[in-house]
């Protein structure tokens, strides 16, 4: 009798059995996933729903199957405004053919609004789009932890700043002669304390602002101000820092009358302080830092140009990343958190501006930022914030 | 010379600001919370109020709301002196009439004096109402 496996016709049962096993495994995977999973056809009609998705949304499988996903599952922004169809991750996946991630709110069947983190991907077989898969999870707990973290950092920063305010005020009063004349040795000691407390202040400000940006709670107050006046306000202390390294700091503002702008001066001061203090820190002794303000038709442009060590090409892509510090810098200057430029980018984005740079190693770096004259800051309620972050 | 009300719960800071502003020739009265500030404001008639936000008993925002109800003079300058920049509280203070926000932990005495002087420069000198 021929052996079963030698007959081509008898190979089919084994292949069928293997296929069945794989199907059962795939089904078990889809069903047992802890995240909600929904698949759709190429038109967005729901074809499969796993138990986790039903549990998160409060709908039964029967209530979801064959429904058009964007219509059946209502998506909302943090202020309850509906997310436009074009901004839904599944729409973007269909349009771009790429995986998309987003955070927003979904409305459950019982009307409750829950925050979700969503990932959508296209389903492509043999080069043909068959549909999409959306994975999502309830992030209520994560959001609550973030909120508590944010509140804690806010409170801690404020409490840390209170004694620092007294240190700053009294050391400066001593240095400025309010309590009598000091000898040069006393002045030198005071300057050491002032410098250290300024560094601590800077770090607390940075941490606080980053927390606010990341949690979307930064409050922007727009007022008409002169860009040059804002910069002049922060220059004196930066010049003291520069003088310690014999670095010359200059400010060049052409057409002063036209540099009025509606913006948040405290935020701009934070940006300028960060960029100029970086320029001073990363420029060798005897170098130069130039601040150039140019009024343009629809915006004001500020450049901070230094004759410093520059940024190597291989590091330039990451320069605005959180905690990033260039290797050429870390070897020379051990202080620094890698948060300054991440903060600068976040603040300029919040004001509706742009920030970029050019750099050449051993020659220097120029950081630029522009702020629109007719301010388009991204405050809550704007379309750009329609996706909950 | 102007009449300035310093409203700050931290006694060391309140004392420091008073010294700095008197050094500039201003007449200064101190309050350590919003309620005390309300009690002193009618008699003193300040031209400028240096106002902290986070205070016990009555904070800066509540002080501004209460003062508004009792019809404060519109040309009194209000400078918020706080460590909570870019916070919703500061935004609310602007809506209640604050002119400017100064960050305490960033501000050296000469800058405080300059900011106060700049704010007052836009105000016409007003004599105190005779008793």
| Correct CATH for A142-217 of 3.40.50, 1.10.287, 1.10.150, 1.10.260 | 1.10.287
Q: What is the CA radius of gyration of chain B?
A: 13
Closest chain B residue to the Cα of A195, Cα to Cα: B106
- Cβ distance A168 to B23 less than 8 Å, yes or no, reads no
CATH for B20-113, options being 3.40.50.2300, 3.80.10.10, 2.40.50.100, 3.30.70.890: 3.40.50.2300
Interchain CB distance below 8 Å, B16 and A169: yes
Asked whether residue B126 carries a pLDDT value surpassing 90, the answer given is: no
Q: Where are the domains of chain B?
A: 20-113
Query: CB atoms < 10 A from the CB of A124, how many?
Result: 12
Does the CB of A240 have a partner CB in chain B at under 8 Å? no
Measured CA to CA, the distance from residue B99 to residue B93 in angstroms comes to: 9
Give CB contacts under 8 A, 24+ apart, made by A385-389.
A385/A77, A385/A78, A385/A216, A386/A77, A386/A81, A386/A83, A386/A84, A386/A87, A387/A77, A387/A83, A387/A87, A387/A102, A387/A103, A387/A104, A388/A77, A388/A78, A388/A103, A388/A104, A388/A105, A388/A115, A389/A103, A389/A216
How would you classify the pairing of strands B27-31 and B100-103?
Answer: unpaired
The pLDDT value recorded for residue A1 is 41
**Residue A37: CA atoms inside 13 Å, Cβ hemisphere, count?**
15
Identify the CATH homologous superfamily for domain A33-138: PAS domain (3.30.450.20)
- What is the tens place of the pLDDT at every residue in B55-114? 989 999 999 998 887 766 778 899 998 887 667 788 888 888 888 888 887 788 878 888
Ranges of each domain in chain A:
33-138, 142-217, 222-389
Q: Do domains A142-217 and A222-389 have the same CATH topology?
A: no
**What's the pLDDT at A389?**
32
Residue B18 contacts residue B6 (beta carbons within 8 Å)? yes
Percentages of chain A per state (helix, strand, coil), in multiples of 5:
50, 25, 30
Helix (H) or strand (E) holding A355: strand A354-360
The pLDDT assigned to B36 comes to 95
Instruction: Please tell me if residue B85 touches chain A, with a CB cutoff of 8 Å.
Output: yes
Greatest alpha-carbon pair distance for chain B in Å reads 41
Whether residue A236 contacts residue A242, with contact meaning beta carbons closer than 8 Å, is answered with: no
CA–CA distance, A14 with A34 (Å, rounded to integer)? 32
Among A219, A236, A265, A271, pick the best mutation site for testing chain B contact (most B Cβ within 10 A): A219
**Which bin fits B61, alpha (ψ -120 to 50), beta or left (φ > 0)?**
alpha
Chain A residues in contact with B85 by the CB 8 A cut-off are 205, 266
How many whole angstroms from its chain centre is CA A251? Answer: 30
Low-confidence ranges of chain A (pLDDT < 70): 1-11, 154, 216, 255-257, 328-336, 374-389
Q: What is the CATH number assigned to the segment(s) A222-389?
A: 3.30.565.10
Q: Are A366 and A359 in contact (CB under 8 A)?
A: yes
Task: Choose among A119, A145, A144: nearest CA to A132.
Answer: A119
- Chain A residues 138-167 with CB within 8 Å of chain B: 154, 157-158, 161-162, 164-166
Residues 6+ apart with CB under 8 A from A302: A227, A231, A272, A291, A292, A293, A294, A368, A369, A370
The predicted pLDDT at position B89 comes to 81
The one-character DSSP state at A68 is: B
Q: How many angstroms separate the CA of residue A206 from the nearest CA in chain B?
A: 12
pLDDT in tens, A224-243: 888 998 898 889 888 988 99
How many Cβ pairs closer than 8 A exist between chain A and B? 79
Q: What is the pLDDT of residue A333?
A: 61
Q: Do B17 and A165 touch (CB under 8 A)?
A: no
Q: Dihedral sign, CA of A345, A348, A354, A358?
A: negative
User: Residues 32..71 of B with a Cβ closer than 8 Å to A: which?
Assistant: 54
Residue pLDDT, tens place only, A297-309: 889 999 999 999 9
CA gap B113, B50 in Å, rounded? 12
Query: Over chain B, what is the mean pLDDT?
Result: 86
Per-residue model confidence (pLDDT) at position A332: 64
């Amino acid at each position: 009798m021929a052996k079963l496996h030698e007959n081509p016709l008898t190979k089919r049962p084994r292949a069928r059995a293997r296929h069945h096993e794989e199907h059962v495994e795939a089904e078990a995977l889809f069903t047992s996933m802890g995240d909600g999973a929904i698949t759709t056809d190429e038109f967005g009609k729901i074809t499969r729903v796993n138990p986790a998705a039903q549990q998160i949304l409060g709908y039964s499988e029967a209530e979801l199957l064959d429904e058009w996903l964007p219509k059946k599952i209502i998506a909302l922004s943090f202020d309850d405004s509906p997310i436009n169809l074009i901004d839904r991750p599944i729409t973007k996946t269909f349009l771009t053919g790429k995986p998309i991630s987003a955070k927003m709110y979904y409305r459950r069947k019982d009307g409750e609004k829950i925050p979700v983190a969503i990932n959508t991907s296209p389903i492509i077989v043999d080069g043909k789009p068959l549909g999409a898969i959306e994975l999502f999870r309830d992030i209520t707990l994560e959001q609550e932890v973030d909120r508590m973290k944010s509140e804690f950092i806010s409170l801690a920063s404020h409490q840390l700043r209170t004694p620092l305010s007294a240190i700053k005020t009294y050391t400066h009063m001593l240095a400025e002669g309010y309590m009598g004349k000091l000898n040069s040795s006393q002045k030198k000691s005071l300057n050491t304390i002032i410098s250290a407390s300024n560094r601590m202040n800077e770090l607390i400000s940075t941490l606080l602002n980053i927390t606010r940006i990341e949690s979307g709670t930064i409050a922007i107050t727009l007022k008409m101000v002169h860009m040059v006046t804002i910069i002049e306000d922060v220059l004196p202390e930066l010049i003291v820092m520069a003088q310690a390294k014999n670095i010359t700091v200059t400010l060049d503002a052409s057409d002063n009358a036209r540099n009025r702008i509606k913006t948040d001066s405290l935020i701009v001061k934070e940006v300028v302080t960060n960029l100029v203090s970086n320029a001073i820190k990363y420029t060798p002794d005897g170098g130069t830092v130039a601040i150039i303000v140019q009024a343009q038709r629809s915006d004001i442009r500020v450049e901070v140009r230094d004759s410093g060590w520059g940024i190597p090409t291989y590091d330039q892509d990451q320069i605005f990343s959180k905690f990033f510090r260039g290797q050429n810098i870390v070897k020379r200057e051990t202080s620094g958190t890698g948060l300054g430029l991440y903060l600068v980018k976040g603040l300029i984005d919040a004001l509706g501006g742009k920030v970029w740079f050019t750099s050449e190693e051993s020659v220097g770096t120029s950081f630029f930022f522009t702020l629109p004259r007719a301010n388009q800051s991204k405050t809550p309620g704007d379309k750009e914030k329609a996706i909950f972050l | 010379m102007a009449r300035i009300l310093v409203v700050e719960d931290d006694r060391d800071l309140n004392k420091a600001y008073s010294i700095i502003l008197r050094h500039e020739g201003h007449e200064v009265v101190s309050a350590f919370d919003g309620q005390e500030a309300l009690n002193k404001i009618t008699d003193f008639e300040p031209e400028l109020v240096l106002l902290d936000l986070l205070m016990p008993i009555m904070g800066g925002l509540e002080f501004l709301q209460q003062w508004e109800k009792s019809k404060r003079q519109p040309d009194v300058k209000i400078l918020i002196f706080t460590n909570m920049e870019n916070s919703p509280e500061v935004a609310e203070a602007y809506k209640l009439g604050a002119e400017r926000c100064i960050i305490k932990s960033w501000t050296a005495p000469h800058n405080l004096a300059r900011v106060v002087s700049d704010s007052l420069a836009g105000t016409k000198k007003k004599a105190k109402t005779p008793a």
